[in-house]
Chains A and B, each alone.
Chain A
Amino acid sequence: MVRYLLIRLLRAFITITLVVTFAFIVLRVSGDPAISIMGDNASPEAMAAFRKEWGLDQSIFIQYFNYVTAIFQGDFGHSMRGGGPALDLVVSRIPATVMLTLPALLLKVAIGVPAGIYAALHHDKSLDRTVMVTAVAGYTVPSFVLGLLLVQIFALWMPLLPTGGTGELSHLILPVLTLGIGGAAILARFVRSAMLEVLGQPYIRTANAKGIPWGAVVRAHALPNAAIPTVTIIGFMVGSLIAGSVVTESVFSWPGVGNLLVVSVTARDLSVVQCILLLVAATMVLSNMFVDILYGILDPRLSNANSEGR
């Protein structure tokens, strides 16, 4: 198990390093922050002073070396727009994002899992088809379309909720619904597929033939075995708690990490973008590690296989 964890940690480190390096290079070759932040009316002297101040006049190798060295000292750079430490800025936005994504995750699970199970148990019946048509619709409608549609209905036609912004509980409802509906649809489809696969297994037939009540068969044999793919997809959703709401935050002017990422990419606020990407990569990697550990608990065969190095 220790060896397994060490390998996972090494892989996580390599993944994060690759993400950070890739982001570092792409951000620097794809646009000049001096133009984005100073505006295209700024004088050449002003632009040159800006580049010097932020070390952008040095070679990319020196910039990268300085960046990596600083990270190991806990310095993630400073925001070119706000001037403050990039990490402080990013961390200050996490509560707002989690305030949105956590209820949305609960909503996804609360709707998606029962809907998927229900559809699987009523396979090929009209209820199954209704759930799946709804799920496909929820899955295929882009979140910005869904968000604007909800605003149109609940803020403009029926002025019950605000169109965006933050401050009160009412500001949360539409963005949480936007995030939750799409995610619930994805989850419902996965849970249904997993359940259908399990329900077709010989051990379910055997349990059924033994005369065990159908409800008990589902609870004791089907659900635990269908949990692996479900946990995988929920793991991804947990991983994207930090940066999974970029579009929704933009549509609702929600001051979270996603919104900060969009503004920072547009402005080429390099340190902030890199800090967010590092954080997102770390969250994703950690959640995947957690999911792997959960696999072992849900299905000890997987844990044993990993321990044996297979």
Chain B
Amino acid sequence: MNTFTLTRRKLLASGAAGGMIAMIGPRFAAAQDAERHTLRVGMSGFPPAIDPVLYTHTATRRLAPQIFDTLVAYDQTPAMNLRPGLAERWERTDDRSVKLFLRQGVTFHDGGAFTAEDVTFSLSPQHLLGPDMAGKATAMETLETIDSVEVIDPHTVIVRAKGSDALLEKRLASWGAEIVSKAAFDAAGSWDAWNTAPIGTGPYRIVSQTLDQEVTLISHDAYWRGLPPPYAGIEFRIIPETASRMNALAAGEVDIITDIAPDMFPQIENHPDLEVAGGPVANIRALVIDTTDPILGKVGVRRALSLAIDRKALVQALWGDRLTIPNGYQLSSFGDAYIEDFPQPAYDPELARQLLAEAGYAGETITYKLLNNYYPNQVSGAQVMVEMWKAVGLNVELQMMENFGQIQTSPVHAIYDSSNTATIPDPLGFPWRIFGPSGQNVRLGLWRNEEYFALGEKLKVTVDVESRRSIIRRMLEIVDREDPPVVILHGSGQFYGKRKDVAWVAGQTLDLDFGPFNAASVQN
């Protein structure tokens, strides 16, 4: 066993070493700074706003992690564990309250100090509800249960929910919970002025934005995680055309491009300097069913639509097996709320035929309202499914539409594509948000299930893990086979083309993280 003894010689040596580090340290940091370059990202769309409380737009989400921090954050691994953010640690004080100990010495992009006052403001209706507090802000989807923020001292707060809330910590890590500078918001004077350059504590600060052209960020070198952020800056260049984004990547004009289509994978993989990044994200692709339609109202017909689809073949053929097939309308990132043994949607043409016969289905036309590849591979997938349905006797007719407004015009009387994201990795942040009383299916008058609604209300105030799991299992059964509001297709993916020499790992959500918490930086 080695023992450590401190001698005068060792002490002198360690002192000398310390001196060397002190001398070399800044040079090392300077050298690292010189090595940092500006990352160029070819993005498909321009964000309608930078402050994420205003829009759930994909482009806004892609910028948010660079500019803002949350008190608690997801680690973006498949388990979506929580990690400390602007709160160093936190503890439950009761079913509806979380005490958070805020990190000290954190500065905003404008040099202002981060304190409890900024937390209070960021989570207040004045900020969350958006311009004129008109309820426009989409942050309330995840944060509506928050009742108050009590300031204990400048670096300690207690966030209280309106009632028992098992998800309070997760809410503080989710969409819209980004912390902004109260002083900078007040100084801006208006939402319009604020949105030109919102101030957060994130690893990069905004330099400029030109509508439909670019958003430019520069490193926030005083970022609280210690070492400066990995890039000197980030240029988000807006290149709406997929082929043009691909060309820009191949020509070396950008380092990463978003939203690549599956048919571009071979082109990228055959290029010596490029690779495909990304994979499944917390999102499920499904077909929404208008259950008020006389034919689609029959549960047997709805189940037959699902049973006739060979999802494995679909994912293999159209996505090169890069997507997952979820076991029910849930994600494995739900943690304790994930029902592992819940079955995947079955492929059983025989049962489909039998259910159709029992439902008295006689070949009536079922309309499938379809957008022209709003989602990748949408049209090809629809054409394949139409053939699969035909094989069991279902007569599904494609009807091309231009946008969701047209599709959702009442009466819908059809099936149509949807893609929904888990705003919180929990049933309350995903299926409940869609199938609950405020969800899109119910709001559009396409589906109602009173038992489901009652279970959801119960789930909202249940904290005990086993009790929650029992409720969730029943809710999954209703959506899966008892009264399906959708046909689950497969999990969604976000795929990116990138240069091989760019160290970056895609996360589990739409968010892009080019800061020091990205898995590639953490590994280094």
Say yes or no: A30 contacts B244, CB within 8 Å: no
The stretch from B79-87, B416-424, B464-472, B499-507 touching chain A is B416-424
**A178 contacts across to B, CB distance below 8 A:** none
Task: Give the nearest-CB partner of B443 in chain A.
Answer: A44
Specify which chain A residues have a CB less than 8 angstroms from the CB of B212 in the assembled complex.
Answer: 255, 259-260, 263
- How long is the Cα–Cα vector from A27 to B248 in the complex, in angstroms? 33
- Interface residue? A205 (CB, 8 A): no
- Min CB distance A217 to B, Å, is 49
Chain A neighbourhood of B418, CB < 8 A: 40
CB of A156 within 8 A of CB of B250, answer yes
Check A50–B244 contact: CB distance below 8 A: no
Asked if A156 and B247 make an inter-chain contact with CB atoms under 8 angstroms apart, the answer reads yes
Give the CA-CA distance A44 to B210 in the complex, in Å. 30
Interface residues on B, range: 35 or more
- Given A156-B247, A263-B212, A43 and B140 touching (CB < 8 A)? yes
Are A52 and B244 within 8 A (Cβ)?
Answer: no
B138/A30 in contact, CB under 8 A: no
B211 at interface (Cβ–Cβ under 8 A)? Answer: yes
Contact A159 B405 (CB under 8 A): no
Bound-state Cα–Cα, A41 to B210, Å:
25
In this assembly, does B31 line the interface, its C-beta being within 8 Å of a C-beta of chain A? no
Contacts of A255-279 to chain B: CB distance below 8 A: 255, 259-260, 262-263, 268
A46 and B135 in contact, given A81-B48, A164-B244 (Cβ under 8 angstroms): yes
A252 close to B211 (CB less than 8 A): no
**Smallest CB gap from B243: residue in A:** A148
Interchain nearest-CB distance for A91 vs B (Å) = 13
Tell me, rounded to whole Å, the shortest Cβ–Cβ distance linking A16 to chain B. Answer: 25
In the complex, the answer to whether A46 meets B240 with C-beta atoms within 8 Å is no
0/1 string, A12-51, CB within 8 A of B gives 1: 0000000000000000001110011111111111101110
Nearest CB of chain A from residue B134's CB, rounded to whole Å: 4
The answer to whether B247 and A45 touch across the interface, beta carbons within 8 angstroms, is no
> Is A43 in contact with B134, judged by CB distance below 8 angstroms?
no
Return chain A residues, CB-CB under 8 Å to B248: 163-165
Q: Which residue of chain A has the shortest Cβ distance to B58 in the bound complex?
A: A39
Q: Is B514 interfacial (CB-CB < 8 Å)?
A: no
Asked if A39 contacts B55 (CB within 8 A), the reply is yes
The answer to whether A124 has its CB under 8 Å from any CB of chain B is no
| Interface residue ranges, B against A (CB under 8 Å) | 46, 48, 55-58, 134-138, 140-141, 192, 195, 210-213, 237-241, 243-244, 247-248, 250-253, 402-406, 408, 418-421, 423, 438, 440, 443
Using A32-B404, A39-B58 as known contacts, list a sample of 20 further A-B pairs with CB atoms less than 8 Å apart, ordered by residue number in A: A30-B402, A32-B408, A35-B404, A38-B55, A38-B138, A40-B440, A44-B443, A46-B135, A48-B135, A52-B134, A83-B192, A89-B211, A151-B244, A152-B247, A162-B253, A250-B240, A251-B241, A253-B239, A259-B240, A263-B240
Name A residues whose Cβ lies closer than 8 Å to a Cβ of B. 30-32, 35-46, 48-50, 52-53, 81-83, 89, 148, 151-152, 155-156, 159, 162-166, 250-253, 255, 259-260, 262-263, 268
